[in-house]
């Protein structure tokens, strides 16, 4: 049994679901998590959590609220020295065989303070550690996001990157790219072709979408806006993991933002995806762009979409399903093998 210290960004379900998938896939190891926000949900699974501040991304009107996000970041990072020293003491006491980070700020810095290697496991580093031609536009968003990834979240020595779109890595000695991690709850569902469309929104701010949906003949089930009264062809549902996955597995297709986790789960279940990436969230834009490039779906950056774009998307559903069919969106076993190796290799990735 190895002891694994695992820093996790807690402002989005994707980071926490990924960490939970790793921990549940390795019951022979012991995990101590570091984080805030949704990371505390892991306590219900029986894991210990060391609380730290969190530089969360904040949203407004389906956009990243840059002033509020930056103000929160400055507040959090202003006290970083004390937090890093506290996590360094946790490293001394826990003496982990492996230190992991999923886009968490403090854990890698504490590892460096103690002269320990730290392994990054996330999707965000596809932006900085893989070769690709950046999509046109989004200059400011790209510059800000890539600066944050490089300067704030790249203190690890090894990078394990998960992605539903394959890209060549820049340095195979330090970076491994694998298909997405799919949480165990998703694996229990078999996909079927229902009549409804699943809509999931990261932040309940994209109200401009509903007038568009109301003009469609399709029935929509919406998650992310809470349990509200139904309106015309739209049914709102409150948080329910089992209900969400049941509706996902039986959907005709999925409408979501550009978050990697939900897109990956939809693709694993064979569902075409239409993406409305959150403005100023460059990673979401890149996910949406490659979603279309791979032929798995389409996207729009319009703040005021029209029914025509969804009607056009629906006319190509079979083409999207054909592109999805036979592709590998399940990297769990390969990732667990790599992490297991790292617990005994001193943080060195296995030779190809």
Tens of pLDDT along 304-337?
888 899 999 999 999 999 999 989 999 999 999 9
pLDDT for position 260: 97
The answer to whether residue 350 is domain-embedded is no
Q: Give how many domains the chain has, as a whole number.
A: 2
Give 224's strand partners.
Answer: none
Answer yes or no: do 102 and 142 share one domain. yes
Res. 59: pLDDT tops 70: no
**Among 38-52, 56-70, 157-171, 277-291, whose mean pLDDT is lowest?**
56-70
Answer yes or no: do 195 and 175 share one domain. no
- Only one residue has tokens 């509200």, namely 228
Q: What is the mean pLDDT of the chain?
A: 91
Residue 346: pLDDT band (50, 70, 90) is low
Answer yes or no: do 164 and 225 share one domain. no
pLDDT for position 291: 98
pLDDT for position 170: 97
Starting at the edge strand that comes first in sequence, how are the strands of the sheet with 30-35 ordered? 48-51, 30-35, 3-8, 98-102, 119-122, 158-162, 175-178
The answer to whether residue 351 is domain-embedded is no
Per-residue pLDDT averaged across 287-294, rounded? 97
Tell me the residue length of the chain: 352
pLDDT for position 304: 82
Res. 347: pLDDT tops 70: no
d(CA 258, CA 59): 14
Answer yes or no: do 132 and 68 share one domain. yes
Answer yes or no: do 171 and 35 share one domain. yes
Answer yes or no: do 26 and 161 share one domain. yes
Answer yes or no: do 175 and 213 share one domain. no
Res. 352: pLDDT tops 60: no
**Structure tokens, 10:** 């807690």
Per-residue pLDDT averaged across 115-135, rounded? 96
d(CA 135, CA 22): 31
Global pTM reads 0.92
Tell me if residue 1 falls in helix, strand or coil: coil
Answer yes or no: do 137 and 215 share one domain. no
Domain of 308? 185-324
Answer yes or no: do 283 and 233 share one domain. yes
CATH number at residue 303: 3.40.50.2000
d(CA 70, CA 55): 9
Share of the chain above pLDDT 70, in %: 94
- Only one residue has tokens 């892991």, namely 42
The answer to whether residue 221 is domain-embedded is yes
The answer to whether residue 352 is domain-embedded is no
pLDDT for position 79: 72
pLDDT for position 67: 76
pLDDT tens per residue across span 150-183? 988 999 999 999 999 999 999 999 999 999 999 9
Residue 63: pLDDT band (50, 70, 90) is low
Answer yes or no: do 158 and 220 share one domain. no
The answer to whether residue 202 is domain-embedded is yes
pLDDT for position 53: 84
Residue 119: pLDDT band (50, 70, 90) is very high
Res. 283: pLDDT tops 70: yes
H or E stretch covering 282 = helix 282-293
pLDDT for position 269: 98
pLDDT for position 58: 65
The answer to whether residue 36 is domain-embedded is yes
d(CA 254, CA 267): 9
The answer to whether residue 211 is domain-embedded is yes
- Choose among 217, 222, 220: nearest CA to 206: 222
Q: CB–CB of 283/272 below 8 Å? A: no
Answer yes or no: do 172 and 289 share one domain. no
Answer yes or no: do 286 and 341 share one domain. no
Per-residue pLDDT averaged across 227-239, rounded? 89
């Amino acid at each position: 049994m190895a002891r694994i210290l695992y820093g996790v960004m807690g402002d989005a379900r994707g980071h926490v679901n990924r960490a939970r998938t790793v921990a549940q896939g390795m019951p022979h190891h012991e995990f101590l998590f570091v984080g805030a926000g949704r990371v505390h949900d892991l306590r219900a699974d029986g894991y210990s959590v060391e609380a730290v501040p969190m530089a969360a991304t904040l949203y407004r009107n389906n956009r990243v609220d840059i002033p509020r996000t930056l103000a929160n970041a400055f507040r959090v990072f202003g006290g970083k020295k004390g937090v890093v020293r506290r996590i360094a003491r946790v490293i001394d006491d826990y003496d982990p065989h492996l230190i992991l980070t999923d886009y968490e700020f403090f854990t890698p810095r504490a590892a460096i303070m103690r002269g320990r290697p730290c392994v990054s496991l996330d999707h965000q580093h596809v932006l900085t550690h893989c070769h690709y031609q950046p999509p046109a536009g989004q200059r400011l968003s790209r510059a800000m996001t890539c600066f944050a990834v490089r300067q704030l979240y790249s203190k690890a020595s090894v990078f394990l990157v998960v992605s539903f779109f394959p890209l060549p890595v820049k340095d195979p000695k330090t970076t491994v790219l694998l298909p997405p991690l799919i949480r165990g709850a998703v694996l229990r569902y078999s996909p079927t072709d229902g009549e409804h469309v699943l809509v999931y929104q990261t932040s309940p701010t994209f109200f401009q979408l509903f007038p568009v949906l109301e003009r469609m003949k399709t029935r929509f089930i919406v998650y992310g806006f809470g349990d509200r009264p139904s309106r015309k062809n739209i049914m709102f549902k409150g948080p329910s993991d089992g209900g969400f996955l049941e509706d996902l597995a039986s959907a005709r297709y999925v409408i979501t933002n550009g978050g990697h986790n939900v897109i990956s789960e939809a693709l694993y279940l064979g569902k075409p995806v239409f993406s409305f990436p959150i403005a100023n969230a460059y990673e979401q834009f890149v996910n949406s762009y490659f979603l279309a490039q791979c032929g798995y779906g389409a996207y729009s950056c319009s703040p005021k979409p029209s029914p025509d774009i969804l009607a056009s998307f629906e006319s190509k559903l079979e083409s999207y399903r054909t592109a999805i069919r036979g592709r590998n969106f399940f990297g769990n076993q390969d990732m667990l093998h790599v992490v297991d190796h790292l617990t005994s290799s001193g943080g060195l990735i296995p030779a190809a």
